[in-house]
């Protein structure tokens, strides 16, 4: 009877392979360490240290990938926003990302930002730039940074409330409708 061996990593882009393994472990809810990622990847326990000096560096790289994935979700099938409703669509995409990938979302926003990690800083700046550009296109007289911060606070808060089951909905469609309605209500609110 043949012995089944786990496939091992032999060549190519080790950093990418380690990130793929770590992302899979994270999203399956498995606790991971650099050693566990090495073992799962089929490499020596010291091989990952060539790319990630510690767990924090690995987590920052995962967060940077998460930010790139979030940006892709925010732009997927979207044209440049031209209305408040379009901006609300970005909020819905944000909450959907959080609910679809909760472990990654919590890692991205639950840890202190590593301002020394250029990859993470760039990925965050790209998302901020996307949002600021969208806001300027729809609300040219508004302060894009203030409105982006307020909008982020709103949708991030809603995402966390749904993740923590403080808010619930019977379906993703219901949740999306609630996020959209809340976002539009806040942006259209007029001072009295």
Q: How many domains does the chain have?
A: 2
pLDDT at 6: 47
Give the pLDDT of residue 43: 94
CATH of the domain at 128: 1.10.357.10
Note whether 40 and 75 are same-domain residues. no
Number of other residues whose CB lies within 10 A of the CB of residue 135: 23
Domain of residue 22 covers 1-52
Domain end residue (candidates: 52, 73, 89): 52
pLDDT recorded at residue 145: 85
Spell 50-74 as b/e; 16+ CB within 10 A means b: ebbeeeebbbbbbbbbbbebbbebb
Question: Are 59 and 104 members of one domain?
Answer: yes
The pLDDT, as a whole number, for residue 191 is: 58
CA distance 115 to 122: 10
79, 123: one domain: yes
Last residue of a domain, one of 32, 52, 72: 52
- Each of the 192 residues of the chain gets a pLDDT tens digit; together they read 444 344 544 557 899 999 999 999 999 999 889 999 999 999 999 999 999 999 999 999 999 999 999 999 999 987 889 999 999 999 999 999 999 999 999 999 987 777 888 999 999 999 999 998 998 999 898 888 888 888 889 999 999 999 999 999 999 999 999 999 999 999 887 554
pLDDT at 143: 87
70 and 14 share a domain?
no
Q: Yes or no: say if 27 and 8 are a contact pair by the CB < 8 Å rule.
A: no
> What secondary structure, in 3-state letters, does 15-48 show?
HHHHHHHHHHHHHCCCCCCHHHHHHHHCCCCCHH
Q: Are 16 and 41 in a shared domain?
A: yes
Nearest to 152 by CA among 174, 130, 122: 130
The verdict on 23 and 66 lying in the same domain is no
Q: What are phi and psi for residue 104, nearest 5 degrees?
A: -65, -45
Domain boundary among 52, 73, 88: 52
pLDDT recorded at residue 142: 85
Distances (CA, A) of 94 to 55, 67, 155: 26, 11, 7
Same-domain check for residues 116 and 180: yes
CB 78 within 8 A of CB 89: yes
- State whether 36 and 102 are in the same domain: no
């Amino acid at each position: 009877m043949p012995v089944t061996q786990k496939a091992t990593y032999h060549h190519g882009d080790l950093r990418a392979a380690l990130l793929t393994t770590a992302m899979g472990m994270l999203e399956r809810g498995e606790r991971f360490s650099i050693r566990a990622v090495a073992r799962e990847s089929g490499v020596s326990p010291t091989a990952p240290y060539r790319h990630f000096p510690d767990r924090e560096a690995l987590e920052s790289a995962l967060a940077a990938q998460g930010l790139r994935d979030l940006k892709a979700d925010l732009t997927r099938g979207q044209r440049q926003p031209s209305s408040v409703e379009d901006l609300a669509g970005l909020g819905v995409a944000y909450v959907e990302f959080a609910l679809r990938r909760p472990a990654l979302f919590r890692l991205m926003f639950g840890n202190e930002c590593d301002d020394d990690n250029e990859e993470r800083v760039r990925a965050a700046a790209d998302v901020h730039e996307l949002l600021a550009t969208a806001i300027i296109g729809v609300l040219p007289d508004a302060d894009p940074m203030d409105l982006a911060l307020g909008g982020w606070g709103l949708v991030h808060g809603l995402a966390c409330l749904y993740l923590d089951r403080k808010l619930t909905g019977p379906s993703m469609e219901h949740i999306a409708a609630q996020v959209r309605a809340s976002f539009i209500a806040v942006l259209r609110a007029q001072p009295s």
